[in-house]
Amino acid sequence: MLEALDEAAVGRWSRAVVAALTTARGRLDELNVFPVPDGDTGINLLMTAQAGDEALREAAGAAEPAWAVLARGAVLGARGNSGAILAQLLSGLADGVTAAAADGRAVDGPVLAAAMTSASRTAYTAVADPEEGTFLTVARAGAEAAAAAVAEGRTALADVVRAAADGAVTALHATTGQLDALRDAGVVDAGGAGWCLVLDALVGTVTGDVPVRPALSARPSRPRRSTVPPPAAPPAGPGSEVQFLLADSDEAAVARLRTRLAELGDCLVVVGVDTPGGREWNVHVHVHDVGAAVEAGIEAGRPHRISVTPLAPVRAPAAVPGARAVVALACSAGLADLFTAEGVTVLTAAVDQVDEDAVLQTVLATGAEQVVLLPNHIEVTAVTARAADRAREAGRDVVVVPTRSAVQGMAALAVADPARRFGDDVIAMAEAAAATRWAEVTLAEQEALTSAGRCRPGDVLGSAEGDVVVIGADLAAVARDLLDRLLSAGGEMATVVVGETAPDQALGDAVCGHLAAVHPTVEVVRYAGGAGAVPLLIGVE
C-alpha cells in the first residue's frame, strides 16, 4: 500500500493504463456515439496513453519529473477529441503534483485530490463548448469525490484514489440520462468509461488491487435506436476531424485561433504543454472547411503533424457494381490538394499517425466496387495492405499500388485511365510508379549512422529511394548534389515538391535555377507541398 506516488509508481500506473485501454479498446469504440458516432474513442485513448508511456520509457533516468514527461508525451501524441481531453487531464495532474513537489511535498492523498480538482477545471477550459454527461462530467465527479474524502478526514492516498474511482463510476452510469445521443443509444459515455479505467488502474497501482467492475458493454438493456445515419445520408455534423500540433506561437495567438476555429466548426479542444523547444499546443476540431482550419493554424504559429480524417458514417454505403475509385494518402495539406485536383479520394495524416481503421473507412466510403490504393510513403505500405485485406473481406476489389513516395503516386495517376479494364489500369499505374525514381531532402532529428556517414540533429539529409546518400549543412547545396546524382542516370522530367521549411520559397527557386542551368533538357514541374511536407521531394522520370 503506497502512502505517496513516487516516480516509479507513475511509470507503473502508465503501463497499467495502457494495458487496461488495450483490453477495453473494442468495447470503448462500440460505446462511442457522442459527439460523433465514429467508433474511435477506444483507439484514440489508447494511442494517447501509449504516447505518454513511450515518452516515459525514452526519458528513463532523466532528471525531469515523470509526471511532466508523461503529460508532455500524451499531449504531443493525443489523438481525437477523447485523446485530447485525456492529455489535458494528465497535464493538469502533472501541473498540480509538480508544483507541490517543488514545495517539498510528497504526492499524498490531499495533494492528489487538489491536483485532480485543478485538472478537471483546466479540462473544462480546454474544450470550447463543454457539455454535461460527457468525459468532462465523469472526470469532475471523480475529482469532487476525492476532495470530499479529504474533507471528511479520509486523507490516506488509498482512500482518495478509491473515492475518485468510485465517484467517477457513479457519474459514468448517470451519463446515459444526461445526453440525448447516449439516451437514444442506451449506452454510457465512451470517454468517461475510459477515464474510469484510468482511475481504476491508479487504484491498482496504489493498493495492489484493481477494483472489480461490471464489464463494459455496448449492448443496451432496452431496444437501441440507431444513431448512425443511413448509408445514403451524409454524416451528422462537420465533415472532417482536423488535428495538429502548433509551435512557435503564444497565448494571445492561440486565443485568436480558438475563436476562429470555434466559428468554423465544433468539438474544439486546445491543449498546451511545455516542451524543451518551447510551448506547444495540440489542436483538435471538427470542420467542413479543412483548408480554413489549417490556414488559421498557420496564422497562429507553425502547425505540424497535421492530420485530417473524414467523419464518415460507421457503416459505409454498399458498393456500386463496376464503380471505380482511387484513394491516395497524403502527409500534408499541400499534397492533399494536389491529389484532390486529380479527382481522387484523399486521406490526409502525418506518416506516424496513419491508422488502419481510417484507411479502411476511407476506402469503403468511396462506394466503389474497385479501388486503387496509393500509400505514397514507404513507412505506411504495411498499414494500407492490412486495410486492403479487410476491405476485400467486405466485398471490395482493392489493389495497393506500392507507391513509396507522393511523386510515385502522382506518376501513377498521370497514366490512370478508367476506360481500361481494372486489372490493366492497375498494371499501368504500377509500372509508371516503379519507373519514377524518388528522393527527398530532410532534416535529421537525432544522431544516427547512415550509408553516407554519421549525421547529427539538424544536419541536412539527401535520400534516394530511402537511402541517405548526401549529408550537409545547407538545404540548397544538398538538394543540388542529390539532383545531380539522380540525373546522372538519365531522366526527361523532374517533379519537385517544396515544403515550407525554407522561407520565401528560396529552396524551390535554388533547385529550379540549378536544373535550368545544369540540366537544361530536363522538363521541370514544381508544386508546393505545404505545412507538414518534407523540405523537398523529388521525382525523376
Domain boundaries, the chain: 7-207, 240-310, 325-434, 437-540
Residue 504: predicted pLDDT: 46
Average pLDDT, the chain: 87
Provide the b/e sequence for 323-333 (b: ≥16 CB within 10 Å).
ebbbbbbbbbb
Q: Which fold has domain 325-434?
A: Rossmann fold (3.40.50)
Give yes or no on whether 240-310 and 325-434 have one common fold: no
- Are the CB atoms for 14 and 86 separated by under 8 Å? no
pLDDT at 201: 94
What pLDDT was estimated at residue 235?
39
Q: Does 225 or 77 have the greater pLDDT score? A: 77
Residue 462 confidence (pLDDT): 93
pLDDT in tens, 470-518: 999 999 999 999 999 999 988 899 999 988 755 546 888 899 999 999 9
Say how many CA atoms lie within 13 Å of 490 toward its Cβ.
1
Q: Is the pLDDT of residue 219 over 60?
A: no
C-alpha 242, offset from chain centre: 9
Residues 520-538: pLDDT tens digits? 999 999 988 877 788 999 9
What distance in Å separates the CA atoms of residue 282 and residue 385, rounded to the nearest whole number? 29
Predicted pLDDT of residue 247: 92
* Window from 113-127, 137-151, 197-211, 494-508 with minimum mean pLDDT: 494-508
pLDDT at 314 over 70: no
| pLDDT for 230 beyond 60 | no
User: What 3-state DSSP class applies to 77?
Assistant: helix
For the segment 28-54, the average pLDDT, to the nearest whole number, is 81
- Residue 409: pLDDT band with limits 50, 70, 90: very high
Task: Using the predicted structure, report yes or no on whether residue 6 has a pLDDT greater than 60.
Answer: yes
pTM value is 0.60
Provide, rounded to the nearest whole percent, the portion of the chain with pLDDT above 90. 55
- Cell 476511407 locates to 362
Given the candidates 3.20.20.10, 1.10.10.350, 1.25.40.340, 3.10.150.10, the CATH classification of the domain at 7-207 is 1.25.40.340
Using pLDDT thresholds of 50, 70 and 90, give the confidence band for residue 183: confident
Query: What topology is assigned to 437-540 in CATH?
Result: Hypothetical Protein Tm841; Chain: A;domain 3 (3.30.1180)
Q: Which residue has the higher pLDDT, 41 or 221?
A: 41
Residue 352 pLDDT class (50, 70, 90 cuts): confident
CATH topology assigned to domain 240-310? Alpha-Beta Plaits (3.30.70)
Residue 433 scores a pLDDT above 90? yes
**pLDDT for residue 456 is more than 50:** yes
Mean pLDDT over residues 375-390, rounded? 90
